[in-house]
Amino acid sequence: MRVIVTGGSGLVGKNLQEICPNFIYLSSKDCDLLKYNETLNFFKKLKATHVIHLAAKVGGLYMNLEHNFEMLHDNLLINMNVMKVCKELNVKNFIGCLSTCIFPDNVKYPITEEQLHNGEPHKSNEGYAYGKRMLDVFCRQMNKLDGYTYRCIIPTNIYGKYDNFHLKHSHVIPGLIHKCYLAKKNGTPFKVMGTGKALRQFIYAGDLAMIVRHLVHFYDGKETNIICSVSEEEEVSIKSIVEKIAEIMEYNNIEYDTSYGDGQYKKTVSNEKIKSIMPSLVFRNIDYGLHKIIKWFCENYENIRK
């Protein structure tokens, strides 16, 4: 088994590396996945039996709103190049990474895997959503070929060590942590965009890494996509996340700027499929995860992505 991981320097890739050090981890410094010939020539040298495709153009709500075209273009091109290379080189095993934010806006809750293509995504991130949805379509086509096992994991909001803490282009938890840190340092209000009423499920990156390891080593089912999330009961509001971060960082001067939108109000998903695949899986709760990531953030502030 020779496992290649794209996006190896990102949030999920770095957490996976801690528990699967023998995989080969690639970053944008190794290969530009937007360029087909460069991707093909690089992958030829690696002779992979398995590809875990984590690389993507990503950002938070406001990054998606402002750059929908770039999100669509770059993710379509990256996924098309990687998939075409995998087919040409006869890579028989593949795991891609989607996101629960790409599901349709109008759905029946809780969302299940079968609803992925049952309508348009929320307008705030339609470029990213359509760019990522096509990876699932590619996998379905590859699974029509004899001997190929291609699937996608669909994690809900991921957070953890090694995340991007950029103040504008990060996901919600790392962005909030960085804002609170600077507000406390400067004695200014901890300003939060939106009302905080939106509801989300969060998965700790270390838990997602364990799921990926299990799917590579121990699972041979034929599901094309698998939602990876905590239970419906563990869905929380952004406001509660803000308050937990403020409490841990001991700084409660919070202000909500309601001139900003909240994005999609809720995206509640079912985790029945992953629990049936890994019955003993226990997700670490949000309080544990926030304490761990804030401690890591403060200890590594000078060297983190920000």
- Catalytic sites, residue numbers: 128
Contact present, 174 and 244 (Cβ < 8 Å): no
DSSP bridge partners of 151: 95
How many Å apart are CA 267 and CA 255, to the nearest integer? 25
Neighbouring C-beta atoms of residue 204, cutoff 10 Å: 23
Question: DSSP H helical segments within 143-283, as ranges?
Answer: 172-186, 205-218, 238-248, 272-277
Alpha carbon 24 to its chain centroid, in Å, reads: 20
8-state DSSP, 170? S
How many Å apart are CA 30 and CA 68, to the nearest integer? 26
How many Å apart are CA 256 and CA 52, to the nearest integer? 39
Neighbouring C-beta atoms of residue 268, cutoff 10 Å: 17
Which of 10, 116, 11, 134 lies closest to 74 in space, CA to CA? Answer: 134
Q: What are phi and psi of 53, to 5 degrees?
A: -100, 100
Which of 162, 158, 181 lies closest to 171 in space, CA to CA? Answer: 158
| Token pair listed for 303 | 């060297």
User: Could you report how far apart the first and last alpha carbons of the chain are, in Å?
Assistant: 35
Largest CA distance in the chain: 62
Which of 104, 173, 159 lies closest to 133 in space, CA to CA? Answer: 104
